[in-house]
Amino acid sequence: MRLSRHPLSFPFDRVANGSVATIGSFDGLHLGHQRLLQHVIAEARSRALPSIVMSFEPTPKEFFLAASPPARLMRFREKFEGLGETGVDIFFCPRFNEAMKNISADAFIRRILVHALNVRHLVIGDDFRFAQDREGHLDMLRAAGIALGFTVEQMSSVIERDERVSSSAIRDALWEGDLERATALLGRHYRMSGKVIVGERVGRQLGYPTANVNLNRKQSAVMGIFAVRVSGPDWGPLDAVASIGTRPTFGGAKPLLEVHIFDFDKDIYGEYIHVDFIARLRSEEKFADVDQLVEQMHRDSALAREILAA
C-alpha cells in the first residue's frame, strides 16, 4: 500500500486511468468499515483501477474539538497497518487544517476528487458529509459526477445485534467496560499497539514486571484493569493482565498502558507489541499502601488467568 501525506507527494501516475475511492475517518476499522473497504477493493479490481482510501490527520473531530477530542480507537500507525492488511492500494491522508476546514464542496470535488484522485467511482457511507460546514452531501456528489465523469455509490450501515455499527458506539461500549459488545461491533477484539518503553520499574519491584507502552492519545478509549493477550514481532499471543491508568497509588498523572505477561522473562524493550483486550476486570483504584495494591494484583492475575483459560 502506498502512503501519501501531502497532495504534492500523491502518486498521480498510478491514477492516470482513474481510481475507485472512499473517504472517511475509519477509526477502528470496524465491521462497517470492513464491508465498505471490501466493496471498494472489489470494485477497483473489476475496473482494473487502483483503490484509494482518503482520510485526514488529525481527524476533523480532533481538529474541531481540540480541547477535548473523542477517544481515538486507533493511532495513525495502527490505522495504516490495518488498511494495508485489507489490500487497499493507496492511503491518502493529508493534514486537516484551516485550509481544509474552509474548502467549499465544489472545490473539494474538483481539486481533490477529480484533479488529484482522478476518481471514476466513489463509495461513501450513509452518514458522509464533507467540506466547509459539512455542506457537501450525496445529491451534490451525484450531480457533480454527472458533470465531471464519475459515479457515486452510497452504502448502508451494518447492523449487528440490532445496533448500527459505528466508531461512536464502540467508544461507548469500551468506556462502559462492555468488551463483548465492542468485540461484536469491531468483528475482533479491541487492540492497542505500541513500542515498549523503559519505565520506573515499579512493577518489577512488586513482583509484577510490566511492559510499558505510551498511549500517544489525547484520550484513551479504555481505562481500568483487563485480561489481555499480547503479541510481539515473533512471539505470542501470550496471556497477560494489563492496567491502563495513572497509577494513583504512586501519585501518577499521565495515563500509561502496563502489561504483565504471565510466565514470561524476555527483554522486549523497544519492541512493537499488540495488546488485545479480552475482558475488563475492574476500575483503577488508589490503595492505602503498597501491600494492599500487591494483594489486589494477586487477585487480578488469578482472575485474568481463569478468564483466559476458559
Residue 201: pLDDT over 80: no
Task: Please state which of the ranges 30-39, 63-72, 137-146, 233-242 shows the lowest mean pLDDT.
Answer: 63-72
**Placement of cell 465523469 in the chain:** 149
Joined together, the cell numbers standing for residue 188 give 475482533
Residue 8: closest CA among 95, 122, 103, 136: 95
C-alpha dihedral sign at 82, 91, 66, 163: negative
Distance CA 53, CA 36 (A): 11
CATH code linked to domain 2-155: 3.40.50.620
Q: Does 177 score more than 90 pLDDT?
A: yes
Name every residue whose Cβ is closer than 8 Å to that of residue 41 and which is 6 or more positions away in sequence.
51, 86, 87, 88
Which CATH code is given to the segment(s) 189-309? Answer: 2.40.30.30
Phi and psi angles of residue 155, each rounded to the nearest 5 degrees, phi first: -100, 145
**pTM, whole model, 2 decimals?**
0.92
Please tell me if the domain spanning 2-155 has the same topology as the one spanning 189-309. no
* 3 state DSSP class of 123: strand
Closest CA to 205 of 302, 296, 291, 304: 291
Residues in the chain: 310
d(CA 211, CA 193): 12
- Name which residue leads in pLDDT, 289 or 80: 80
Q: 80: Cβ–Cβ under 8 A, 6 or more apart, which residues?
A: 1, 3, 91
Residue extents of the structural domains in the chain: 2-155, 189-309
Query: What CA–CA distance (Å, rounded) separates 236 from 232?
Result: 6
227-264 per-position pLDDT tens digit: 999 999 999 999 999 999 988 777 777 889 999 999 99
Torsion sign, CA atoms 186, 189, 190, 192:
negative
152 sits in the region (left: phi over 0; alpha: psi -120 to 50; else beta) called beta
- Average pLDDT of the residues in 101-118: 96
pLDDT band at 202 (very low <50, low <70, confident <90, very high): low
Closest CA to 220 of 260, 263, 171: 171
Which of 84, 19, 94 lies closest to 55, judged by CA?
94
